[in-house]
């Protein structure tokens, strides 16, 4: 296997729920229910990831090597919970998606369509 990082272009753009799940994991390992709570909190309830979608998506993200099960967990936690963390590839993909969205926002802000009337 090559030491050269693989391209992430084929993984972008991310689906909104995937972006929010990766963002929730950017702060550290979490279990599924905690991810759902974090997504709802970060979006003021506008984005909700329901359990059926959550666990299917977590499996897909594991298969893509964007997340992996983490051994880091609170000592007093239920041992049946599975904690997930971003992989190095997952961090690169999240960073790439954030840069892609920032470029779109910059373009939108510079667009004449968004300028207020009477201003040049």
Region 26-32: mean pLDDT is 95
Please report the pLDDT score of residue 117 as a whole number: 65
- What residue spans define the domains of the chain? 12-114
Which residue bears the tokens 């990831």?
49
The more confidently predicted of residues 77 and 30 is 30
pLDDT(65) > 60: yes
Both tokens of residue 62? 């594991």
pLDDT in tens, 70-101: 988 777 888 889 999 999 999 999 999 999 99
Find the radius of gyration of the CA atoms of the chain: 17
pLDDT in tens, 100-118: 999 999 999 898 767 776 5
- Hey, which CATH number is domain 12-114, 3.40.50.960, 3.40.50.1100, 1.10.10.10, 1.10.1760.20? 1.10.10.10
pLDDT(58) > 90: yes
How many alpha carbons lie under 13 Å from residue 65 in its C-beta half-sphere? 5
pTM across the whole model = 0.87
- E strand map for the chain: 30-31, 67-70, 83-86
pLDDT in tens, 5-26: 678 999 999 999 999 999 999 9
Strand partners, 67: 86
């Amino acid at each position: 296997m090559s030491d050269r990082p693989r391209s992430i272009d084929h993984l972008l753009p991310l689906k909104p729920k995937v972006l929010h799940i990766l963002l929730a994991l950017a702060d550290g390992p979490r279990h599924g229910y905690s991810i759902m709570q974090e997504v709802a909190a970060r979006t003021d309830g506008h984005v909700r990831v329901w359990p059926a979608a959550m666990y299917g998506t977590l499996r897909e993200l594991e298969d893509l090597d964007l997340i992996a099960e983490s051994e880091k967990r609170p000592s007093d936690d239920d041992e049946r919970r599975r904690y997930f963390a971003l992989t190095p590839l997952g961090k690169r993909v999240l960073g790439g998606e954030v840069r892609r969205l920032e470029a779109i926002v910059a373009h939108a802000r510079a667009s004449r369509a968004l300028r207020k009337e009477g201003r040049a």
